[in-house]
Amino acid sequence: MNKNKFNLRNVVAIAICLVDFSFGDVLAQDSIIDEGVIINGIIWAKSNVNSVGAFSDSPERTGGFYQWDSKSNKCTTNCISFSTSWNEENDPCPTGWRVPTLTELESLGDGAWIEKNGVSGCQFGSGSNVIFLPAAGCYLPRFAYPYSFQDGGKCGYYWSSTKCDDNSDYAYRLCFQNGYTSKGSYGSHGMGQCVRCVKHNSNSSINEVEVGAENLIVIGYFDILGRKLKEEPTKGIYIILYDSGKTKKMMK
């Protein structure tokens, strides 16, 4: 095992509709990304979900477009999910990963509009701890619009697992374009949008390590903003990352 690497494997209306969504990059080569990026204590995947259970093979790849609380981008029954959050059995992320909450999307802060290998999108994070989200656009049900695809290369739309409190037909998402980033945006459940996963045990606080941590291998040290440190600090507050993906907050 390479101890220098993290071992982190492992949304429009109420309607009954038949939608012929394109799968976008879903037919591109699948790749299980076994390394994540820590931003403000959250471990983010480097690439979008491609086909169910697999990541795209590079950050610039659009990947698949998914309806909210669904492993599919084809609406064959009622487009609306009445769940209060994205159900685990409907999560398209690979094993060990999940759709992020609104709070986790908010933790990314404002993105910087850039081009990466000719692909427009937003970069989040700072220093060496950054992720790139392509401006992939989204898919709309054809019963409501003359065309099903919009905003490719201009806007990015990424689902959260958090439903809007005031409308059972909508869920929150990350929305960005050149010069603008919003995490309070929302989309209806029938839309096909991208998913960028977080590590399953990530949340807005630091995870405590289970009993038996003495048998785990330390593979990295980070400050409280998620920036990697060259070595273990001799004083202050910092985070230890273990090979199991667990983290622990330390204070000296």
Q: Using 50, 70 and 90 to split pLDDT, how confident is the model at 146? A: low
Alpha helices in 97-246 (DSSP H): 102-106
pLDDT of residue 48 exceeding 70: yes
Q: Return the higher-pLDDT residue of 172 and 206.
A: 172
pLDDT at 188: 86
48 and 133 co-located in one domain: yes
28 and 80 co-located in one domain: yes
- State pLDDT tens for residues 93-114: 999 999 999 999 999 998 999 9
Averaged pLDDT of the chain: 77
What percentage of the chain reaches a pLDDT higher than 90? 41
pLDDT of residue 203 exceeding 90: no
86 and 182 co-located in one domain: yes
pLDDT of residue 246 exceeding 50: yes
Whether residue 7 lies inside any domain: the answer is no
Whether residue 18 lies inside any domain: the answer is no
In the 8-state DSSP scheme, what is residue 237? E
The rounded distance, in Å, linking the Cα atoms of 159 and 56 is: 17
pLDDT at 59: 96
217 and 194 co-located in one domain: no
Whether residue 106 lies inside any domain: the answer is yes
121 and 154 co-located in one domain: yes
- State pLDDT tens for residues 173-188: 999 999 888 887 888 8
pLDDT at 198: 95
* Residue recorded with tokens 């985070």: 239
Give me the torsion for CA of 228, 231, 237, 239, rounded to 10°: 50
pLDDT at 128: 85
191 and 161 co-located in one domain: yes
72 and 119 co-located in one domain: yes
DSSP 40-92: TTEEE-SS-B-STT-EESSTT-----B-TT-S-S---SBS----SB--GGG--
Whether residue 68 lies inside any domain: the answer is yes
pLDDT of residue 9 exceeding 70: no
β 149-150/138-139 pair status: antiparallel
Residues in the chain: 252
57 contacts 30 by C-beta, under 8 angstroms? yes
Q: How many domains does the chain have?
A: 2
Whether residue 1 lies inside any domain: the answer is no
Whether residue 11 lies inside any domain: the answer is no
- State pLDDT tens for residues 66-83: 999 999 866 555 567 788
146 Cβ contact partners less than 8 Å away, ≥ 6 residues apart: none
Domain that holds residue 139: 24-199
Whether residue 3 lies inside any domain: the answer is no
pLDDT of residue 86 exceeding 80: yes
pLDDT at 142: 57
Q: Return the higher-pLDDT residue of 86 and 201.
A: 86
